[in-house]
Chains A and B, each alone.
Chain A
């Protein structure tokens, strides 16, 4: 452990990333899909000589610019900060492997930003053809940045056997392209592209909903109808690509979807049921509202409806992204690094020579139990909030907690935790200190949180 842990009370550091990332996903996928939407809408308006369309597209471009360049870029940087703080080890591994990849992405990103600014500010000032070309350049650069980042994202779930064979040898970059075009690369790229196109339609529905349907019924109806069609590819192809994606994930990880929701009624409600329930319901609602209101009855489609569709899209995205994160447990980098930053290859060594003696930031401290807790539990658990240790261990005494930790430490095939929790590493004295620390934590009386009924 080269870095100290980031302690975020109540929600835990994972949710800091989660909250930023869900928002970023909505905006960044819009940045890609919307990039294609704008020039295509502009082309249609030019071809049909529709000035009112042109004005509406321009308004959408303004909204697009503010949302993607400001919020998209800010949340993108925020993800960097939060992952650097929450899982420094895996961030470091990613940088060591993909620094070249990020350099390429950065190039596309610069082209993307420049093209977006030029596109908006040259509106009506340069020839239509050139303006359209700039729009296409934007669309291409934006999509290519997805092409690059997708390699890195999918790598974390499925690094692939070639990269794993050189992992830890110091020559990992030699397997760069194997790591990049890893087993889930293609299905994920197509999935994300479909999401981009669908979100372009959803966001366009948001701006189009603000057109007054009584004053400009024709315009509102046309734009809304044209925008809803952007949902069609996603709704027809997504189920198939999703099956392909799941099929590319190793069997051991797929089984995690059978895991019950650990907090309540374990075994009766698996992750896959939960994700499927939310995704199916929200997707069907989006389809229903898009068709029956936006398409069939565009005049009555309000800003509120558009926001609801957006909210439901957010819920569906959050549910599926969370299921995808779930698939990766107990690793941050599949088969290589556990979620608390311990490498699979280090486990035996840490058990031998001690966990904290290998943690530079923990030298000279005598709070072994607390530091063990920070180092190995805190990346997924909190004391009182999300996956609360206090409530998960409630009612257990010293011996009982010692037993749980023993199971975690041995991580045998019969361990119920093995599928989703890293093994607990360290020498017996360190584990004993952690036992004492947790026992003390559980024994301290605590007030139930307000509203916790």
Chain B
């Protein structure tokens, strides 16, 4: 077997440093481009459900038929875009709708008609059942409120 390290011309390490910098930038850019060409499709592939959810979340208004209205003194959980929402039919006949995600750590809240409150079981956060304001527990902010409008046949819920 012949010896490998035959005498080769001087290694191109003694080149002027600007040219070497340019070369490095060029090679770096090429490698970055290649990496991006691989990573971009994979990113989009994995992110598709996220993008779809964002599209669904862009919903500004939903409507439900009047027949689906919850009986007075109870609540109906529904999907507003990608988030759960809570439509409460109070005993006095008024309708309010809240974003049903606790502002503390994101659990879904529940309506407790007998306690007259909205409650989050995760860390005992308590919200007012008419305004969504924090009454007790750790939540930092009140619940998001949607605008509710009852027409002849439908209940229309929209972003404020």
- Looking at B31-39, B104-112, B127-135, the stretch in contact with chain A turns out to be B31-39
* B27 in contact with A287 (CB, 8 Å): yes
* Residue A225 interfacial (CB < 8 Å): yes
Instruction: Report how many residues on chain B are interfacial, defined by Cβ distance under 8 Å.
Output: 19
CB contacts (< 8 Å) of A217 on chain B: these are: 6-9
Partner of B23, one of A218, A283, A291: A291
Known: A277-B37, A280-B36. A287 touches B8 (CB 8 A): no
B8/A235 in contact, CB under 8 A? no
Report the separation of the CA atoms of residues A218 and B10 in the bound assembly, to the nearest whole angstrom. 10
Residues of A within 8 A of B93 (CB): none
| Known contacts A277-B37, A280-B36, A283-B30; A225 and B7 CB within 8 A of each other | no
Q: In chain B between 12 and 26, which residues have their CB closer than 8 angstroms to a CB of chain A?
A: 12, 22-23, 26
Name the CB-closest residue of B to A219: B9
Which A residues from 119 to 154 make CB contacts under 8 A with B?
Answer: none
Count of A-B contacts judged by CB separation below 8 Å: 48
Q: Which residues of B contact A24 (CB under 8 A)?
A: none
Q: Does B2 interact with chain A (Cβ within 8 Å)?
A: yes
* B37 close to A299 (CB less than 8 A): no
Q: How far is the CA of A287 from the CA of B34 in the complex (A)?
A: 11
Chain B residues with CB under 8 Å of A299's CB are 6, 8
Residues of B within 8 A of A276 (CB): 37
Cα A44 to Cα B36 with chains together (Å): 40
- A222 CB-CB contact with B under 8 Å: yes
Q: How many residues does chain A have at the interface if contact means C-beta atoms less than 8 Å apart?
A: 22
**Smallest Cβ distance from A323 to chain B, in angstroms?**
15
Cα separation A225 to B8 with both chains bound (whole Å): 12
Asked if A221 is at the interface (CB within 8 A of a chain B CB), the reply is yes
Tell me the dominant secondary structure on chain B's binding face: helix
Among A214, A218, A222, A287, point to the contact of B30 (Cβ < 8 A). A287
Is the Cβ of A285 less than 8 Å from the Cβ of B34? yes
Q: How far is the CA of A235 from the CA of B29 in the complex (A)?
A: 11
**Does chain B have a CB within 8 A of A295?**
yes
CB contacts (< 8 Å) of A287 on chain B: these are 26-27, 30
Contacts of B30 in A (CB 8 A): 235, 283-284, 287-288
A296 at the interface (CB under 8 A from B): yes
- Asked if A281 lies at the interface with its beta carbon under 8 angstroms from chain B, I say yes
Residues of B with C-beta under 8 A to A165: none
Known: A217-B7, A236-B26, A287-B30. A296 touches B12 (CB 8 A): yes
Complex CA–CA separation, A283 to B29 (angstroms): 11
Tell whether, in the assembled complex, residue A284 and residue B6 are in contact, meaning their CB atoms are under 8 Å apart. no
Contact of A214 with B37 in the complex, beta carbons under 8 Å: no
The complex places the Cα of A284 from the Cα of B38 at a distance, in Å, of: 12
Residues of chain A lying within 8 A (CB to CB) of residue B11: 296
Residues in A neighbouring B31, C-beta threshold 8 A: 284, 288
Give bound CA distance, A299 to B4, whole Å.
10
Residues in chain B near residue A236, CB distance under 8 A: 22, 26
Binary contact track B66-96/A, C-beta < 8 Å → 1, others 0: 0000000000000000000000000000000
Closest approach, in angstroms, between the C-beta of B129 and any C-beta of chain A? 46
A218–B34 CB distance below 8 A: no
In chain B, what residue has the closest Cβ to A277?
A: B37
- Cβ–Cβ contact A280 & B9, under 8 A: no
- List residues 211-244 of chain A with CB under 8 A from any CB of chain B: 214, 217-218, 221-222, 225, 235-236
**Residue ranges of A at the interface with B (Cβ–Cβ < 8 Å):** 214, 217-218, 221-222, 225, 235-236, 276-277, 280-281, 283-285, 287-288, 291, 295-296, 298-299
Known: A276-B37, A284-B30. 17 other contacts (CB 8 A): A217-B6, A217-B9, A218-B8, A221-B8, A222-B9, A235-B30, A236-B22, A277-B37, A277-B41, A280-B34, A280-B36, A283-B33, A284-B31, A284-B37, A291-B23, A291-B27, A299-B6
**Interface, chain B (partner A; CB < 8 A):** 2, 6-9, 11-12, 22-23, 26-27, 30-31, 33-34, 36-38, 41
Q: Can you list the 3 inter-chain pairs with the closest CB atoms, starting with the nearest? A: A284-B30, A284-B34, A280-B33
